[in-house]
Amino acid sequence: MNTEVIKIDANNIDENKIKKITEAFSKGKLVVFPTETVYGLGANGLDEEACKKIFVAKGRPQDNPLILHIAEVSQLDELVEEIPDKAKDLIEMFWPGPLTLILKKSERVSDVVTAGLSTVAIRMPSHKIAREILKDCMLPIAAPSANISGRPSTTSFRRVVEDLASKVDIIVDGGRSDVGIESTVVDMTVDPPMILRPGKVTKEDMEVLIPDIEIDKAIIDSNSGEVPKSPGQKYRHYAPKAEAQCFVGDLDKVVKEINKRVSEEKSRKVAVLATDETVADYKNVDLLLSLGSRENLEEVAGNLFEMLRSCDDNNVDLIFIEGFEFKGIGASIMNRILKACGGKIIFGL
């Protein structure tokens, strides 16, 4: 497949390019486009055959549901059976933005999108380019992250090309995604609502509206065996090619333990993902990268996937990663790190 690249400036959007993308969606083609979270691999969410192509391009298991992206709240009317009052409150406060809501699906939504579930995941992105595309086509666009299944998600055009060139019809070059981790996913079909995947919109943010909102245990325990209602729940995700281990506890002890383990590695190429506060404390590391400052966890979230992919670029064999507190966006970062490590985490340092 010949993949066409369309470059769009978010501050000076070319309507003709938007029309071309809309036409591609209407013809059942695959288009990669930027969102504020990560790049998405999109197809017309009402076209079963087009949605099936997403799974093929990504190598994605068919029992892993897709998220529908919309431009207007009014589009929910044909996609869901009902919108609970608590969902309306979250929509009013956080849409457009990095929040996905799981609702009871209507008959209009294909089982291909929902992986046979009676629920559907929907969000309204805030990224300027994504919004222009969605407004112009007024179709619900099914779009998981634009990466080979299991690999770290893509936050830049360059990384999309690495994974999906020749596998999709169009790749939109819209610069770097701002948030850097996928949207928060909340199941609104249970009471109290439950967070199935943490993201930039945190539990603390939503407690203002829903004080009793809960977090699914599968966020920490990836071996819960539950049928996934949300992308990223069941399979190993966000994973670099190398083995990865995460260390959580007193920061001085974490640094000491990682340095000890680095010194013991005689034959493997080792990378350390540190932070600005500790990067100078590591010695004799083959690849030393900083995720950003612990005082700015949004920066850390934005850098995480790119740093994991940099480890792949440098063909490392083993990655040691500093952990973060399971609070606020730190919980979202740790969810991605745990998935990347396949659960290999050292607590209590």
- Residue positions in the annotated binding site for L-threonine? 37, 69, 123, 143, 183
- Polymer length in residues for the chain: 349
Annotated binding site for ATP: 60, 64, 119, 145, 153, 197, 238
Query: Please, which residues have CB within 8 angstroms of residue 153's CB and are 6 or more apart in sequence?
Result: 38, 39, 145, 146, 147, 181, 182, 238, 305
* Maximum Cα–Cα distance across the chain: 60
Q: List residues forming the annotated binding site.
A: 37, 60, 64, 69, 119, 123, 143, 145, 153, 183, 197, 238
Q: Which of 232, 47, 56 is nearest to 141 (CA)?
A: 47
Residue of 65, 83, 43, 25 whose CA lies nearest to 232? 65
Q: State whether residue 54 is helix, strand or coil.
A: helix
CA dist., res. 235 & res. 247, Å (int): 22
Beta bridge partners of 342: none
Structure letter (DSSP) for residue 39 = E
Task: Yes or no: say if 287 and 316 are a contact pair by the CB < 8 Å rule.
Answer: yes
